[in-house]
Amino acid sequence: MTLERTLILVKPDGVRRGLVGEIIRRIEAKGYQIYALKMMTADRELLTAHYAEHEGKPFFEPLVEFMMSGPIVAIVAEGNRVIEGFRKLAGATDPTVAEPGTIRGDLARDQGTKVVQNLVHGSDSPESALREIGIFFN
């Protein structure tokens, strides 16, 4: 067994477009459990901690501004290999090339903005998951 938990965020574009239900539906349809869930508006301090690996990159400031632009939904999902599994459900970072069948491939596209708007975040490793869950659900 590799029972894991991962942090999933429905980003402000997902909330604005009314895709919270559709995204949760896909997580549940895959068979993962929703362990915790809350709607919130993230502030700069929280986002700087969450996206620490991207500090200094050209898209960092647009990313933080975008993530503060409206409410988000933070989810902890649980299941065997859920970290890898949700990344597969989400699809590639760039929604133009994300495979059809994935959240980003089916529901997102390039908006021509400085930061890629791709509906969801998912932790990329067990270490990231632990760290990010701690940031959003202390």
CB 11, min distance to ligand DAT, A: 8
132 contacts: CB under 8 Å, gap ≥ 6: 7, 50, 123
Quick check: 89 binds ligand DAT (CB under 6 A)? no
Using rule CB under 6 A, residue 116 touches ligand DAT: yes
128 interacts with ligand DAT by CB under 6 A: no
Beta bridge partner(s), residue 5? 78
Q: Provide the mask over 38-77, with x wherever binding to ligand DAT is found by CB under 6 A and - wherever it is not.
A: ----------------x----x---x--------------
Write the single-letter amino acid at 99.
E
From residue 46, how far is each of 59, 70, 98, 108 by CA, in Å? 17, 14, 28, 25
Could you tell me which stretch among 17-25, 37-45, 75-83, 111-119 binds ligand DAT (CB under 6 A)? 111-119
Site for ligand DAT contains 26 (CB under 6 A)? no
Q: HSE (CB half, 13 Å, CA atoms) of 100? A: 0
Q: Is 54 a catalytic residue?
A: no
In whole angstroms, how far apart are CA 31 and each of 4, 77, 82, 102?
13, 10, 10, 15
Interface with ligand DAT, residue 124, by CB under 6 A: yes
Q: Show which residues are catalytic.
A: 121
Binding region for ligand DAT (CB under 6 A): 54, 59, 63, 93, 115-116, 118, 121, 124
